[in-house]
Amino acid sequence: MIYGTICAVVQPASRGPGRPPAAKAAETRKRILRAAREVFSERGYDAATFQAIAIRADLTRPAINHYFANKRELYWQVLHETNDVVVAASVQRARKETTLTGRVLAFIEGAIAAEIENRTAAAFLITATLESQRHPELSRSDADSVHTTREFLSWAINDGIQRGDLSADTDASALAEALIAVLLGVGFYLGFVANREEIDTVTRQVHQLLAGSLTPRLEKAP
Residue 213, pLDDT score: 47
Let me know if residue 42 belongs to a domain. Answer: no
Give the CATH number of the domain where residue 210 resides: 1.10.357.10
Question: Measured between alpha carbons, how far is 159 from 198 in angstroms, rounded to an integer?
Answer: 33
- Radius of gyration (C-alpha) of the chain in whole angstroms: 23
DSSP string, 168-215: TT--HHHHHHHHHHHHHHHHHHHHHT--HHHHHHHHHHHHHIIIIIIH
Cβ atoms of 54 and 99 within 8 Å: the answer is: no
Let me know if residue 88 belongs to a domain. Answer: yes
Q: Which amino acid is at 126?
A: I
Q: Which amino acid is at 153?
A: L
Residue 221, pLDDT score: 45
- pTM of structure: 0.80
Question: Measured between alpha carbons, how far is 162 from 19 in angstroms, rounded to an integer?
Answer: 56
Total domains in the fold of the chain = 1
Cβ atoms of 128 and 135 within 8 Å: the answer is: no
Let me know if residue 200 belongs to a domain. Answer: yes
For 92, the domain range is: 75-219
Residue 200, pLDDT score: 75
**Would you call 218 exposed, middle or buried from its count of C-beta atoms within 10 A (0-12, 13-18, 19+)?**
buried
Let me know if residue 137 belongs to a domain. Answer: yes
Determine phi and psi for 15, rounding to 5 degrees: -70, 130
Q: Can you tell me whether residue 195 is helix, strand or coil?
A: coil
List per-block mean pLDDT (blocks of 10 residues) for the chain, which spans 222 residues.
43 44 85 96 95 96 94 96 95 94 90 89 94 91 93 94 87 93 89 76 76 51 45
Q: Dihedral (C-alpha) 112, 42, 26, 61: value to the nearest 10 degrees? A: 180
Let me know if residue 10 belongs to a domain. Answer: no
pLDDT digits (tens, 9 = 90+) for 98-151: 988 889 989 998 998 898 888 899 999 999 999 999 999 998 888 999 999 999
- Residues 6 or more apart in contact with residue 143 via CB below 8 angstroms: 76, 79, 80, 83, 84
Question: Measured between alpha carbons, how far is 219 from 208 in angstroms, rounded to an integer?
Answer: 15
Q: Which amino acid is at 103?
A: R
Residue 14, pLDDT score: 39
Let me know if residue 82 belongs to a domain. Answer: yes
Residue 196, pLDDT score: 66
Residue 122, pLDDT score: 92
